[in-house]
Amino acid sequence: MSAAASRVWISKLKAAAWAVPVTICFNDVIAGPFLIAGSSMQPTLNPKSEDPSASDDVVLVQKWTVRLQRYCRGDVVVLRSPTEPDIYIVKRIIGLEGDWLSVPGQLEIEKIPKGCCWVEGDNARESHDSLNNDRFGSIPVALVQGRVSHVLWPLSRIGRVSSSVPPGRLLAKNETAFQHSEY
Amino acid sequence: MSTRFSRAGRWLFGSHPQSLQETATTVLKYGCLAYVVRTYGVGATFCVGPSMLPTFNSFGDIVLFEHVSAYTNRIQAGDVVIARSPQNPGNLVCKRVLGLEGDFVKVAASTYLGPARTVQVPAGHVWLQGDNALNSTDSRSYGPVPYALIEGRAFLKVWPATQASWVKRQLS
């Protein structure tokens, strides 16, 4: 290869190498795809299908809302597991700091401590969350990495992921949660 | 415009006149690179607050921290770490790790934080405490902290320059 030709290649490689930090930055700050594993969010994500070869769902995860600390009750979020640091879990936020929640199977109602949230999977039987199986209770909201906003794959179910709080659980809502005030 | 600035500008943006679009692309590229280095490599931060006295002063210290040991699970008991505050997701706290998962940590009695006790750190968590036990909000009040909240390990104090030193791993 001539010197001029190799110089052209090097400049092309340099331009391509810039894609790496730009992609990482976009994925971390704005939004990125995420592969859903497991059945804890059925039927919202990875719904049961007759076809055993059905692939897992790919969703779009918004990061900028979390960076601005906009956490909403009812949103589906990706968070780092409080018990296994290397694992990402997908759950629904039921309550935020200062809320009072009724907890199925116990008489006492629960107040969520400062900086914390209460998360549950839609499929109670399969989900390890604040209430079911592991029962890790309230967890720091700082574990939340992003909000699941859309299903991207399979194409048949492409669209928004809706936000909903199970009825009758939230007894008292703290209107000033995460608005930089002491409640 | 001063010569020094324009020299830096020429290094960054090249010497020939550029369109606004080219300039914006350069700023974006280097901004993203800085973000990646700061998030996955090495970053600097101010450590503010009395909780880490005497290791860090209560105001004005600049500390370098690296993220590699956090995401390769190499944080050990005695390391000074920077973690997302479990009480306020927008804040970072700087504390010392006194115990990893499964370790037993002795908590001394105090007026506000209750009687003396021994706590076992649950799976996936760490026990964080400030070096200044008399003025620190830490695991003694909010309990063990998920390991996933650790962002980085402080390794070098660079400012004030007269006190510049490596941050040592130590357990009292």
B74 plus B97 within the same structural domain: yes
Q: Mean pLDDT over all residues of chain A?
A: 89
Q: Is residue B88 part of a domain?
A: yes
Q: Is residue B87 part of a domain?
A: yes
B68 plus B124 within the same structural domain: yes
pLDDT at A158: 92
Q: Does B35 touch chain A (CB under 8 A)?
A: yes
Q: What is the DSSP letter of B96?
A: E
Measure CB to CB from residue A82 to each of B29, B90, B148 and give the nearest one. Answer: B148
Q: Is residue B169 part of a domain?
A: no
Cα separation of B56 and A75, whole Å? 40
State the average pLDDT over residues A126-150. Answer: 90
Q: Is residue B170 part of a domain?
A: no
**Portion 127-146 of B in contact with A at CB < 8 A:** 142, 145-146
Q: Is residue B172 part of a domain?
A: no
pLDDT at B3 over 60: no
B70 plus B150 within the same structural domain: yes
**Portion 2-21 of B in contact with A at CB < 8 A:** none
pLDDT at B76 over 70: yes
pLDDT at A73: 93
Q: Do A140 and B84 touch (CB under 8 A)?
A: yes
Q: How far is residue B63 from each of residues A48, B33, B129, measured CA to CA in Å?
A: 50, 21, 18
Interval A29-52: pLDDT, tens: 999 999 998 888 888 898 887 777
Structural contact between residues B104 and B83, judged by C-beta atoms closer than 8 angstroms = no
Q: Is residue B168 part of a domain?
A: no
Residue with more model confidence, A48 or B122:
B122
Let me know if A134 is exposed, middle or buried by CB neighbors in 10 A (0-12, 13-18, 19+): middle
B29 plus B95 within the same structural domain: no
pLDDT at B5: 62
pLDDT at B46 over 60: yes
Contacts with A141 from chain B: Cβ below 8 Å: 89
B27 plus B49 within the same structural domain: no
Q: Mean pLDDT over all residues of chain B?
A: 88
State the average pLDDT over residues B10-17. Answer: 71
Contacts with B90 from chain A: Cβ below 8 Å: 69, 180
Copy the structure tokens of residue A77.
């979020």
Contacts with A143 from chain B: Cβ below 8 Å: 146, 148-149
Q: Which of B32, B37, B74, B81 to mutate to test the interface with A (most CBs of A within 10 A)?
A: B32
B46 plus B27 within the same structural domain: no
pLDDT at B4 over 70: no
Q: Locate the chain B residue with the closest alpha carbon to A20.
A: B33
Cα separation of A129 and A82, whole Å? 10
B83 plus B104 within the same structural domain: yes
B57 plus B110 within the same structural domain: yes
B35 plus B46 within the same structural domain: no
Domains contained in chain A, CATH given:
31-172 (2.10.109.10)
B94 plus B143 within the same structural domain: yes
Measure CB to CB from residue B90 to each of A24, A69, A116 and give the nearest one. Answer: A69
pLDDT at B1 over 60: no
Q: Is residue B167 part of a domain?
A: no
State the average pLDDT over residues B102-121. Answer: 86
pLDDT at B109 over 80: yes
Contacts with B124 from chain A: Cβ below 8 Å: 81-85
State the average pLDDT over residues A143-153. Answer: 94
Q: Is residue B112 part of a domain?
A: yes
Q: Do A24 and B36 touch (CB under 8 A)?
A: yes
Q: How many domains does chain B have?
A: 2
Structural contact between residues A14 and A5, judged by C-beta atoms closer than 8 angstroms = no
Query: CB-hemisphere CA count at 13 Å for B110?
Result: 12
Query: Any idea which of A11-25, A78-92, A107-121, B6-20 has the lowest mean pLDDT?
Result: B6-20
Q: Is B72 left (phi over 0), alpha (psi -120 to 50) or beta?
A: alpha
The parent domain of residue B57 ranges over 42-162
B47 plus B25 within the same structural domain: no
B99 plus B35 within the same structural domain: no
pLDDT at B2 over 70: no
What's the CATH number where B115 sits? Answer: 2.10.109.10
**Portion 103-122 of A in contact with B at CB < 8 A:** 113-116
Q: Do B148 and A28 touch (CB under 8 A)?
A: no
pLDDT at B11: 75
pLDDT at B43: 92
